[in-house]
A and B are shown apart, each in its own frame.
Chain A
Amino acid sequence: MPAFVPYLLHTLFPPTVLRPTEIGADVLIVATGVIIVTVLTRQKKWGWLWREWLTTVDHKRIAVMYLIAAIAMLFRGGVDALMMRTNLALPSVHFISAEEYNEVFTTHGTIMIFFMAMPLIFALFNAVIPLMIGARDVAFPRLNAVSFWLFAFGALLFNISFVVGGSPNAGWTAYPPLTELAFNPGPGENYYFLALFISGIGTTITGINFLVTILRMRAPGMTLMRMPLFAWTTLCTSALILFAFPPLTVALGTSLLDRLFHASFYTLGHGGMPMMYVNLFWLFGHPEVYIVVLPAFGIFSEVVPTFSRKPLFGYTAMVVSVVAIMVLSYGTWVHHFFTMGAGPSVNVFFGLSTMLIAIPTGVKIFNWIFTMWGGRIRLTVPMLYQLAFIPTFVVGGATGVLLATVPVDYQLHNTYFLVAHFHNTLIGGTVFGLLSGLYYWWPKMFGYKLDERQGKWAFWLFFLGFWVTFGPQYLLGLEGMTRRLWTYPLGLGWHALNLISTIGAYGMGAGFVVLVYNVVWSMQHGERDLTGDPWDGRTLEWSLPSPAPEYNFARIPVVTERDAWWAMKARGETTAVRVRPDEISALELPRNSAMPFFLGLGFFVLGFGLTFRWWWIAGLGLAGILGAMLWAGFDYEDRKHVHAEEIRRIEAALGRLEA
C-alpha cells in the first residue's frame, strides 16, 4: 500500500466523521447514488439528463432544478433540526455528542438560509418573473445557468463536509476568533467559507440578472407602476443582493486568508479585530433577512388579490413601503450586537432605525387585510399560508421591536427569545410565503395542481407545529435559556417547555412528509391544468399555457394597465393571447451550454482543494475555471434559430392558433 493512502484516508475520514450518524448517512448516500445511476443507465436517460437539464439555459427548467435542490436541502436542514430538538427534549439527554450538536446547529442555520431559502426564492423568480413581465427569458440566460451551477456546487461542497473531513461548527454567523485556526483546526470552517463564497458569486449574478431583466425586458406598456408587486419585490431583492453580498464576500475572503495563509484580520493575537468581522457579517446579514422575506411579501401581494378577486389595495403605498424597507434595511445592522459595547448613542441610533422599519412593514400588513375587505375570499392552500402568515409574522415583527428596544435586548440577546423571533419571521414570513407561492404557481410550472386536501393537511401540520415549537421558546428565553446549548441541567426549570417544543418540531416534520407525499401523489393523480389559468389569475403568466412553451410568448402582449390579464378577461379580450399564423415570426432563443456546469465543477474542485490545502487540486480547479471562461468567451454561437413554422406547429398543438 503506498504511503499516501493512510494519510488520505485519515484526512478525508478522521474519527470525527466516523460516528454512527455519519456512517448511516454515508450508507444512505451511497445507496441513493447507486439507485440513481442504475435507473438512469437502465432507462438510457443519461443523454436526456445532460441535454434537457444539466446544460439547459431555459429559465423554467433552471427553476425546476433550483426547486429540487431546495427541497432536498429543506430535508437536510430539517433532519438537523430534529436532531437538535431530540437532544434538547429532556435535560441531560446525550442523543448526540456536543461536537455533533455544534456541527448540526451550524449546518442547520447555514443550509436553511443559503441553500434552502435562497434557491427556493430563485426557483420562483425563474419560474415566474419572465412570464409575469412578458419576456421570453431572463436578460442573461447563460449567466442564469452559471448562477445555478455555482449555487449547486457550493451546496454540494458544503454538504459533503458531513462525511468528508468534518462539518463546520461555529454557527451560521461564524464569528472569529472561534473560527480561527488555533481554535478550529479541522477543515470544517474552510468548507463553510468556501461554499458560501462560491454560491455567493452565483447569488450576486442572479441579482444582476433579475435587476436587468426587470428593468429592461418588460412587455411594451408595462411601466414600472404597472408591474405586478412580485416583480417589484424581485427588483428590490435583487438590488439588496447586489449591495449586501460584497460585505459578506469580504468577510468570507479575509477569514479564509486568516485560515489558509495566516493573515491576522480577525485573530486573537497580532492585532486582529474580530469585531470587524461582526460588522461586515451583519452589514450583509440584516439586508439578507429582507432578501429572503421581500419575495414572500411579493408572493402574498399576488396571492391575496387573486383569491379575494380584488386588485391589491393601496398599490402605490405597497411599492413605496417595499422601497423604504430596502433602503432602511442597510441602516440597522448594529442591532445584532447591541451588547458589544458600542456606546449608548450608537445603540440608540440603531434601535430607532430598526423600529422605523416596522412602520412600512405594518403598512403592508394592513394593505393585505384591506385587499380582502370587500373581496370574495377563497380559502385555497396558497391563501391559507397567507392567512397563517399574518398573525405569525406580526408576532415576529412585534418581538423584533422588543429586541430593538436596546435595554430589553441586553436581556434577550442570544436567548431562545431571539431564536423564536427569527423563526417567526423566517418560517412565518419566508417559508409560509414560499410555500404559498409554490402551491400557487405549481400548475404554471408543471401543468397540474397539487392536491388541495393533502395540501391542507400539510398546512395545518406546519402551522400548528410551528406554534407548538416556537411559542414555548419565547418563554424559554424569559427563563434565561441561551441559544446553541447542546444540553442543559435539570434544576433550571427548562425541561417542560423544551419537551413541548420538541413535540411541535416533530409535527412540522410530519408536515414535510405530507408535503412530499402531496407532490408525489399529484404528479400521478393531480388535476391537470388545461386552461393555463386555474385560479382565475390576474397577471400575464396566467395567459400562457401550463407549462409555457420554451419561448413563453409567441407574440409579446401589449400591456395597458395593472393586472393586465384580468383586465383583458374583463374586457372579453381573452382571444388577445391567441395568435394569427402571420403574426408569428422566427425567433432567436438562447442555446444550451455545458460551460456553466463545468465552471461550477471547476469551482467545486478549487474549493475542495483549498479546504484541504491540497494546492495542486486547487490549481486543477482554477485551470478548469479559466478554461470554462475562455470557452465561454470564444463561443459566439450562443443563440439558436427557431423557425416560424415550428412555433406555429407548437401553438397549434396548444390550441392557441387562430384559424
Chain B
Amino acid sequence: MALPHPRVRRAWVRGALLAGILGLALTGCGPHYVLLHPAGPVAQGELHLMVLATIAMAVVIAFVLALLAYVLWHFRDRPGRTAPYRPDWTHSRRLEVLWFVIPAVILTVIAVPMVGQTYALAKLPPKSDPLVVDVTSLDWKWLFQYPQQGVATVNYLVIPTGRPVLFELTANSPMNTFWIPELGGMEYTMSGRVLPLWLEASRPGVYWGHSGQFSGVDFEQMFFTVRAVGPSQFQSWVATVRRTAPAMTEADFRQLLNPGTVGTLTYASYPANTFPAVTHGFTLNGGMYMVMGNQPKDNASQPMGSGAASPSRTSREAMHTMPGMSGR
C-alpha cells in the first residue's frame, strides 16, 4: 500500500463513521426534517420530484464510485499486480458514446416530470377559490394583510386548511424570500414587484416560516409562524380579530417601516394604499401584472385580481411616494 499510515487513516474513517451515526442518532429522521414532512400539496409535489432526482443521482454516484474503486483496486502499481498494462488503449468511440447517452437518459428521467411540475406550480389548481394574503417583508418583520377580510397581522399567519392560499409578495425593504418549508418552496419579496406564490395546508398544524435571503443585521429575526386551522375556525378567528384587535393607523404603519424588530401584532383593519397595486412581476398565469384600475379586469386571465380587488390598491406613482420608500 502506497499510503504510509493506514492506522491513522483507519482511526479517521472510524471517527467519521461514528460522527455520521451519532449525527443521525441525535437528529434522527424526525419531524424537524421539514422538507421530508410536507403538510400540503405543493411541498408534497416538490418532495416527490426531489426523491426521484435523488434516486437517479444516487444511481450515477454509486456507479462512478464502484467504477473508481474497481480501477483503483486493479490497476494500482504494486508488487504482484496481475492486471495488464495497456498504455496504448486511449480511445473507444463506443464507450464515449455510452457515457454520453447514459447521463442524457438519466437526466431526461428527471427533466420530463420537472417540466410538468414547474408549469403546474405556476397555476392555481382549477376551480379553486383562493384566500389572498398580501405579504410585505420589512426590516426585520413580516406584514401580512388579508385584503378579502380586511385584517392584518405581523409575524404570524392564520390560514384555513384545504384551501389554496395565494400569497402576493412584495417588499418595503431589501430582498427577502418568503418560505414555509412544510407547505412549499420559497419566492423572493422585492420592492417594486409583486410575485405570486400559492401554497396550501392539507392538515391543521403550526408551521414555521423564514426568510432565505439575507437582509441585514436582524435577518435572523425573520422567522414567523403559520397556524393552519379548519375553515370554520378560520372564519371565527377573523371575526374575533375584527371584534377585538385595534385598527392599524397610518402612524402604526409608518412605525412598522422603521428598521427594528417587533413581536407578533394583530390588526382589525389597515389603511389603504399600503400594498402596491402596480408593479413589474408575473401573475400566476405567466402574464404581466397590470395597473389595477387602468385596465378592464379580465378575471379569466388575471386570477390575481379576482377577489383581490380590495380598496387598498394604488397607482405606481403612489407607490413611490409611499412612506419609507425614499429618503431612508
Contacts and interface: CB of A to CB of B under 8 A. Distances in A.
A and B held together in a complex: yes
Given A351-B118, A387-B68, A460-B9, A98 B87 contact: no
Interface string A363-383: 101110111111111111000
Interface in A17-50: none
Contacts of B218: 98
Main secondary structure, interface of A, reads helix
Sorting the interface of chain B by its residue count into under 10, 10 to 19, 20 to 34 or 35 or more gives 35 or more
Contacts of B100: 359, 363
Contacts of A351: 111, 114-115, 118
A61 B320 CA distance: 56
B224 interface: no
Given A314-B91, A359-B104, A374 B119 contact: no
B107 A359 contact: yes
B71 interface: yes
Given A178-B174, A377-B76, A340 B186 contact: no
A409 interface: yes
B36 A413 contact: no
Contacts of A331: none
Interface string A289-324: 000000000000000000011111111110000000
Interface in B78-129: 81, 83-87, 89-92, 95-96, 99-100, 103-104, 107, 110-111, 114-115, 117-119, 121-122
Contact of B75 (A340, A374, A504): A374
Contacts of B173: 177
A650 interface: no
A472 B26 CA distance: 12
A410 B129 CA distance: 24
A395 B34 CA distance: 22
B17 to A, nearest CB: 11
B16 to A, nearest CB: 6
B107 A456 contact: no
B56 to A, nearest CB: 8
A310 B27 contact: no
Interface stretch (A142-150, A427-435, A480-488, A539-547): A480-488
A475 B27 contact: yes
A358 interface: yes
B72 A372 contact: yes
Contact of A486 (B4, B27, B172, B220): B220
Nearest to B19: A500
Contacts of B237: none
A341 interface: yes
B77 A478 contact: no
Interface stretch (B57-65, B145-153, B303-311): B57-65
Contact of A317 (B30, B72, B96, B280): B96
Contact of B191 (A177, A387, A408, A483): A177
A344 B65 CA distance: 35
A310 B139 CA distance: 60
B46 A482 contact: no
A344 B119 contact: yes
B175 A178 contact: yes
A272 B23 CA distance: 46
A339 interface: yes
B184 A411 contact: yes
Q: Tell which of B65, B177, B188, B280 has the most Cβ of chain A within 10 Å.
A: B188
Contacts of A221: none
Contacts of A413: 177, 185-186, 212
B23 A497 contact: yes
Contacts of B77: 309, 376-378
B193 interface: yes
A183 B192 contact: no
B46 A410 contact: yes
Interface in B309-328: 320, 325-328
A313 B54 contact: no
Contacts of A235: none
A414 B175 CA distance: 13
B20 interface: yes
Contact of B89 (A269, A341, A374, A390): A374
A413 B213 CA distance: 9
A171 B190 contact: no
A374 B89 CA distance: 8
Contact of B53 (A275, A347, A391, A402): A402
B49 interface: yes
Contacts of A405: 49-50, 53, 110, 114
A253 interface: no
Interface stretch (A463-471, A580-588, A597-605): A463-471
A343 B286 contact: yes
Contacts of A486: 219-220
Contacts of A485: 219-220
A83 interface: no
Contacts of A488: 220
A571 interface: no
Given A339-B177, A405-B110, A268 B213 contact: no
A351 B113 CA distance: 12
A102 interface: yes
A112 interface: no
A348 B86 contact: no
A317 B20 CA distance: 38
A535 interface: no
A346 B259 CA distance: 35
B216 interface: yes
A9 B104 CA distance: 61
B2 to A, nearest CB: 4
B300 interface: no
A410 B199 CA distance: 12
A366 B54 CA distance: 20
Nearest to A311: B90
Contacts of A316: 91
Given A369-B71, A496-B26, A497-B23, A341 B217 contact: no
Contacts of B83: 374
A359 B98 CA distance: 11
A358 B107 contact: yes
A482 B16 contact: no
Given A340-B190, A402-B57, A410-B46, A375 B75 contact: yes
A175 interface: yes
Contacts of B3: 379, 456
Contacts of A337: 188
Contact of B192 (A99, A273, A376): A273
Contacts of B90: 310-315, 371
B298 to A, nearest CB: 18
A407 B41 CA distance: 13
Interface string B1-27: 011110011001101100110110011
8 contacts: A102-B214, A366-B64, A374-B84, A377-B76, A390-B68, A453-B4, A480-B181, A496-B23
Given A340-B188, A456-B5, 7 more contacts: A180-B174, A366-B64, A401-B107, A405-B49, A480-B181, A492-B32, A493-B32
Report, nearest first, the 7 A-B pairs whose CB atoms are least far apart: A410-B185, A493-B32, A374-B86, A414-B212, A398-B57, A341-B195, A269-B326
